Amino acid sequence: MVSQSILDTLTTIQDRVAERHGFSRLSDWADRHGSWERTIVRRGELLSFIVALAITETDEGLFEITALSGAESGPRYRRIDGGALHLDDPDEVTVRAAEIEAVVDAATIAALAVKPDQLSSTRESLRAAAPAA
């Protein structure tokens, strides 16, 4: 079970990284289809950079901490899968805080390195689809 104190610890870690790289909160902790997730954002001139920190109790009973990051511009985006840490007990977040912060920091730096011409995925639209050849 992920307690509020665990989420508070992760918030502190993520906010330290956010402050270091000029990010602000995008979404507070919420359950995203099985994972607790909190996201931060930095809106640039051409791109928005987003970093998600998540903790999931897996079906095997382990706790997985994941950093997911990337950049977006309208319907175009690039996703970068950051590292994941596995904990036997969620209370380990306190003693492994430095490790978690390093993962979040690396994911944030990776997001900020994305250039507009590297947005490799697109959300399509029926109306924008090209006529058949």
Partner 1 sequence: MALARGQPRRLDMPTATMLATLLDQEMLSSRGIVIAPSDTSIPELPVCTGSDVYERHLGKRLLLRYIMRKQYDEFLHGSSRSHFVTTTPYPADEAVSSLALPQPTPRRYVLILDPREIARIAGPRWVRFGTGIEYFLPDGFPRRALLAGWPIPVR
Least distance from partner 1 to the Cβ atom of residue 89, Å: 15
Q: Which two tokens stand for residue 126?
A: 């029926």
Residue 115 interacts with partner 1 (CB under 8 A): yes or no: no
Least distance from partner 1 to the Cβ atom of residue 9, Å: 18
Of 21-50, binders to partner 1 (CB under 8 A) are 25-35, 37, 39, 41, 43, 48, 50
Coil, helix or strand at residue 1: coil
What secondary structure does DSSP assign to 40-57, as a single string?
A: EEEE-SS-EEEEEEEEEE
Q: Which two tokens stand for residue 54?
A: 């998540």
- CA atoms of 33 and 83, how far apart (whole Å): 20
Q: Interface residues with partner 1 (CB under 8 A)?
A: 25-35, 37, 39, 41, 43, 48, 50, 52, 54, 56-59, 61, 64, 66, 68, 70, 72, 74, 77-79, 121, 123-127, 129-133
